[in-house]
């Protein structure tokens, strides 16, 4: 296998990793503030539908992007009201949002487009297209580095670059800003924040808005950049894998990047390996290969990562009165 084989593999790894990474970072903001977010999946799905539907109706993909973010933030706010104000069970609220998105997208999609829940295919102009970085063609002539720059680094959609930029930005926000300090504190010991005179509610709302925005972008990526329309349950458990990746990453942004890339590579390899003859074993059933990323999730979570200590206050509604 030469470099010309590896680059396409890595290329598709990146494309698989991006929605995971965005969802994982979305979960990071939420859980670092002390709110369990099992509804990443639902928010992404709702956003993917909104992006594809609005892009198809308006012909402008950026309206689609805005709609995706709007829908995702709205869903995040439902979760916020349920878990911050009403002190409800955060897992149940998240599960409810997932089901709402699963049924709601197909229902609304079918009533608008009459295509059994899918949205019309978007033309090339109605999608978020790839961007060629400067001098891609020229540098492409340089051996080894050239193809890497031209084919792997250049030529992705803006969302891909946004997702990768979000990692150092998140790390910086968490460690170097006032907001980050308070965010980390509210997920560990909200009372410490309350006694210091900072509103626990407000901070958690801010965190959940960021979660909503990131899930919205992830959803828009799925239906208008990676794909060209919305189809039923197109997130296919990515929200849950992102949640697993978050635990694997121990709630840290850089770890989240490596974890999501690993899942991306496995997903890409999984497609490559379908139908391939293995030495001695022969051809492995396709279902087995397809299951690999999920098997890895279970194996990693079960044993390999050591003790992942979640933010201490995660999942507990904040009650002031004793």
Residues near other proteins (CB under 8 A): 176-182, 184-185, 188-189, 191-198, 312, 320-321
In whole angstroms, how close is the CB of 197 to other proteins at the nearest point? 2
Closer to other proteins by Cβ: residue 174 or 244:
174
In whole angstroms, how close is the CB of 230 to other proteins at the nearest point? 38
Tell me how far apart the alpha carbons of residues 186 and 200 are, in angstroms, rounded to a whole number. Answer: 7
Closer to other proteins by Cβ: residue 113 or 251:
251
In whole angstroms, how close is the CB of 89 to other proteins at the nearest point? 15
Look up residue 155 and give its two tokens: 């030529």
Counting beta carbons within 10 angstroms of the beta carbon of residue 99, is it exposed (0 to 12), middle (13 to 18) or buried (19 or more)?
exposed
Tell me how far apart the alpha carbons of residues 159 and 162 are, in angstroms, rounded to a whole number. Answer: 5
Closer to other proteins by Cβ: residue 188 or 232:
188
In whole angstroms, how close is the CB of 256 to other proteins at the nearest point? 18
Of the candidates 196, 178, 179, 222, which has an alpha carbon nearest to the alpha carbon of residue 72?
222
Provide the H-helix boundaries in 39-157: 40-58, 61-80, 90-113, 136-139, 145-147
Closer to other proteins by Cβ: residue 196 or 302:
196
DSSP 180-223: HHHHHHHHH-HHHHHHTT--HHHHHHHHHHHHHHHHHHHHHHII
In whole angstroms, how close is the CB of 173 to other proteins at the nearest point? 10
Closer to other proteins by Cβ: residue 17 or 193:
193
């Amino acid at each position: 296998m030469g470099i010309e084989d590896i680059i396409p593999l890595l290329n598709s790894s990146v494309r698989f990793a991006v929605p995971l990474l965005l969802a994982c970072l979305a979960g990071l903001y939420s859980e670092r503030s002390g709110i369990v977010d099992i509804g990443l999946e639902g928010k992404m799905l709702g956003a993917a539908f909104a992006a594809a539907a609005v892009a198809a109706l308006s012909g402008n993909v950026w309206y689609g992007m805005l709609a995706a973010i709007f829908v995702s933030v709205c869903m995040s706010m439902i979760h916020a009201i349920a878990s911050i104000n009403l002190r409800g069970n955060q897992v149940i609220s998240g599960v409810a949002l997932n089901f709402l998105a699963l049924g709601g997208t197909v229902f609304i999609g079918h009533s608008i487009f009459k295509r059994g829940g899918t949205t019309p295919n978007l033309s090339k102009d109605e999608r978020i297209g790839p961007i060629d970085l400067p001098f891609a063609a020229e540098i492409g002539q340089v051996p080894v580095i050239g193809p890497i720059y031209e084919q792997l680094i250049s030529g992705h959609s803006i969302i891909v670059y946004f997702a990768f930029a979000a990692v150092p930005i998140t790390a910086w926000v968490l460690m170097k800003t006032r907001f980050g300090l308070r965010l980390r504190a509210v997920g560990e010991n909200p009372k410490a924040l309350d006694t210091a005179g900072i509103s626990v509610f407000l901070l958690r709302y801010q965190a959940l808005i960021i979660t909503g925005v990131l899930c919205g972008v992830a959803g828009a990526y799925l239906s208008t950049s990676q794909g060209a329309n919305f189809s039923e349950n197109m997130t296919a458990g990515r929200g849950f894998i992102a949640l697993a990746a978050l635990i694997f990453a121990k709630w840290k942004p850089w770890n989240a990047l490596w974890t999501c890339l690993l899942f991306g590579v496995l997903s890409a390899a999984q497609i490559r390996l379908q139908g391939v003859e293995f030495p001695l074993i022969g051809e492995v059933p396709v279902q087995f290969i397809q299951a690999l990323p999920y098997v890895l999730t279970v194996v990693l979570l079960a044993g390999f990562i050591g003790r992942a200590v979640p933010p201490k206050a995660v999942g507990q509604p904040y009650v002031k009165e004793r």
